[in-house]
């Protein structure tokens, strides 16, 4: 998969340190994956109303009465040493429910980088603005992002190129990141929820996140290192890692063992190839409250439920259907579709634990995982979804 920044096309390929974006001209023709770009679209896409405001009565719905804990599905492959999890309870360092995230973005001037401080700030300000719009929409206004770029006199300077800085450390992400942090003299790094060590300029991209690092500030978590353009920071996706400890929902190169494997089994989440976080990830992050979830653990019944569009700020917006320990089906109303997807938490990070099963629109009935879904109608904010289970 590729993405274009300016006049340079990048391809994502594997390396010793994980997936890396590299200029297309320098990469061999191999199977590759990608993360989503920072192009964010606004919330939109409601079905035409068939009831409610038109004077037509809407379908009768059932009241979901169950223990919400039955729907807080655990991640059966959660590994405490690398932190990522697609289930409950959340990892102890995840910022779930935190109203304000403080994010340090610290540029390094590599050899020959004389770009003005004002230019660097202007480039990143666009990314900050798009990221805050994304977070406001996905958190329903509950989370504010506070980005800080220190003054230029605090930016480390090195006398080698970004390529030399990386290659001299054998392209080992943990080693590269630790040595970059060693260049930072300020001692308040531990006060930030996420730290992004970036390049002041340049078009050559290399980067990644994860790990635990040592610094005079103390042990550091939630650190992301990158070279290349500001647009490659991809804050909405990478904050999913550094702040919320979500897993990647695209398939990593290591698991691309057959040519017919879909690299994007989960279609509508920015941790894969979508424009927003899925409803499940929003619940994990604390954006959706327990009373905004329709929890349906019972089987052998048919019920109808009002499901509000996922990007509206009130109403019940996610249906959770636990199917077994560590597994569940989900239904949510996204743009012009009801998205049905499943969690199999026995599938590890990078191998596709979340998977889109399909979408339905009014007039269509579909069966997934032994459950039948049918849209009975729509009002201006919600759909009425019948589930036979």
Q: Could you report the per-residue pLDDT of 204-214, keeping only the tens digit for each?
A: 999 999 899 99
Closest CA to 123 of 93, 147, 99: 147
Average pLDDT over residues 274-281: 98
Between 73 and 14, name the one with better pLDDT.
73
Strand partners for 147: 103
Query: Which helix (H) or strand (E) segment is 128 a member of?
Result: helix 117-139
Closest CA to 386 of 319, 325, 324, 337: 319
Average pLDDT over residues 135-145: 98
- Residue 343 CA to residue 337 CA, distance in Å, equals 19
User: What six digits make up the tokens of 366?
Assistant: 């579909």
82-86, 323-327, 351-355: least confident range: 82-86
What is the predicted pLDDT for the residue at 256? 84
- Residue 148 CA to residue 126 CA, distance in Å, equals 14
Average pLDDT over residues 102-126: 98
Between 140 and 15, name the one with better pLDDT.
140
Residue 10 binned pLDDT confidence (cut-offs 50, 70, 90): very low
Does the pLDDT at position 31 exceed 80? no
Residue 298 binned pLDDT confidence (cut-offs 50, 70, 90): confident
What is the predicted pLDDT for the residue at 53? 77
Average per-residue pLDDT in the chain? 89
User: pLDDT over 70 for what percent of the chain?
Assistant: 88
What is the predicted pLDDT for the residue at 176? 99
Q: Which residue ranges make up each domain of the chain?
A: 68-77+262-388, 97-243
- Residue 348 CA to residue 326 CA, distance in Å, equals 12
Pairing of strands 223-226, 194-199: parallel
Q: Are 134 and 178 in contact (CB under 8 A)?
A: no
Strand partners for 51: none
Does the pLDDT at position 24 exceed 70? no
Average pLDDT over residues 343-369: 95
What is the predicted pLDDT for the residue at 363? 86
What is the predicted pLDDT for the residue at 290? 98
For 284, half-sphere exposure in the C-beta direction (CA atoms, 13 angstrom radius) is 26
What is the predicted pLDDT for the residue at 44? 58
Q: Could you report the per-residue pLDDT of 213-255, keeping only the tens digit for each?
A: 999 999 999 999 999 999 999 999 999 999 999 999 999 988 8
Does the pLDDT at position 23 exceed 60? no
What is the predicted pLDDT for the residue at 80? 56
Between 128 and 66, name the one with better pLDDT.
128
Q: Could you report the per-residue pLDDT of 43-71, keeping only the tens digit for each?
A: 358 999 999 977 799 999 998 778 999 99
Residues whose CB is less than 8 angstroms from the CB of residue 382 and which lie 6 or more positions away in sequence, other chains included? 306, 307, 308, 309, 315, 333
Does the pLDDT at position 34 exceed 80? no
Q: Are 268 and 310 in contact (CB under 8 A)?
A: no
Average pLDDT over residues 165-194: 98
């Amino acid at each position: 998969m590729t993405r274009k920044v300016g006049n340079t096309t990048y391809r994502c390929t594997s390396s010793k340190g994980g997936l890396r974006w590299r200029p297309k001209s320098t990469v061999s023709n191999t199977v590759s994956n990608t993360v989503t770009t920072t192009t964010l679209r606004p919330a939109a896409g409601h079905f035409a109303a068939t009831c409610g405001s038109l004077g037509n009565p809407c379908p009768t719905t059932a009241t979901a009465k169950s223990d919400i804990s039955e729907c807080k599905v655990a991640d059966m492959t959660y590994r405490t040493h690398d932190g990522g999890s697609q289930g409950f309870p959340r990892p102890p360092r995840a910022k779930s429910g935190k109203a304000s995230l403080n994010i340090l973005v610290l540029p390094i001037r590599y050899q020959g980088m004389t770009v003005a401080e004002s230019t660097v700030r202007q480039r990143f300000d666009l990314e900050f603005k798009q990221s805050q719009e994304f977070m406001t929409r996905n958190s329903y206004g509950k989370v504010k992002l506070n980005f800080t770029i220190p003054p230029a006199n605090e930016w480390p300077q090195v006398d080698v190129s970004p390529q030399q800085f990386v290659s001299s450390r054998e392209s080992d992400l943990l080693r590269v990141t630790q040595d970059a942090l060693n260049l930072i003299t300020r001692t308040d790094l531990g006060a930030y929820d996420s730290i992004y060590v970036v390049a002041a300029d340049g078009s050559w991209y290399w980067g990644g996140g994860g790990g635990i690092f040592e610094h005079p500030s103390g042990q550091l978590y939630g650190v992301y290192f990158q070279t290349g353009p500001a647009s490659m920071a991809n804050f909405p996706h990478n904050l999913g890692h550094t702040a919320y400890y979500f897993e990647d929902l695209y398939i990593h190169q290591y698991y691309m063992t057959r040519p017919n494997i879909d690299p994007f089994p989960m279609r509508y989440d920015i941790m894969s190839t979508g424009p927003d976080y899925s409803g499940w990830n929003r619940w994990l992050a604390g954006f959706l409250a327990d009373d905004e979830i329709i929890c349906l653990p019972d089987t052998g019944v048919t019920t109808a439920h009002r499901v509000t569009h996922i990007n509206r700020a009130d109403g019940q917006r996610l249906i959770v259907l636990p199917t077994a320990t560590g597994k569940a089906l989900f239904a949510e109303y996204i743009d012009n579709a009801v998205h049905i997807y499943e969690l199999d938490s026995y599938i590890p990070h990078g191998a596709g634990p979340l998977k889109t099963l399909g979408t339905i629109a009014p007039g269509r009935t579909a069966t997934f995982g032994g459950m039948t879904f049918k849209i009975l109608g729509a009002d201006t904010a919600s759909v009425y979804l019948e589930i036979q289970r």
